[in-house]
Amino acid sequence: MEFFQEIIRFRPVKRGFHLITNEVMQALPQISGMGVGMCQVFIQHTSASLTINENADPTVRTDFETFFNKAVPENDPDYVHDYEGPDDMPAHLKNALLGSSVLIPIRKGSLALGTWQGIYLCEHRDEATARQIVITAWGK
């Protein structure tokens, strides 16, 4: 079994849900040589997250943003942690709900995503910083 790892840095993006499947695949071309394995994608931040979901219809991304803004509203007077503004604590909560990593099987040299699945970088801040993602693949 072999292990491969790369770190990719994304320039700041606007708040929302951004497909990054192609960038993940380009970062680790060694995946194409694996018959079977696993790929973990991990974001090194607490105010952005990762998820896998619908990759074709862009209205899904809009609806995700709408849902999470309703579920975790800004300017809640009960939040104590607001050092970086009204989206600070909501961004951390959204990260806790969605998670910091996804694990995807590798099959016949590709990520074994379903036909309509893609990997999303979920940016929860209005004034985002660059985001760093660690991609680790192992298999044979």
Tens of pLDDT along the chain (140 residues) come to 999 999 999 999 999 999 999 999 999 999 999 999 999 999 999 999 999 999 999 999 999 999 999 999 999 999 999 888 899 999 999 999 999 999 999 999 999 999 999 999 999 999 999 999 999 999 99
Whole-angstrom Cα distance, residue 124 to residue 121?
Answer: 10
Confidence (pLDDT) at 135: 98
> Which CATH number covers residue 55?
2.60.120.460
Confidence (pLDDT) at 83: 85
Instruction: Report if pTM > 0.75.
Output: yes
Range of the domain at 33: 2-139
Confidence (pLDDT) at 122: 98
With H, G, I as helix, E, B as strand and everything else as coil, classify residue 64: helix
What would you measure as the largest C-alpha separation in the chain, in angstroms?
52
The amino acid sitting at 80 is V
The amino acid sitting at 116 is W
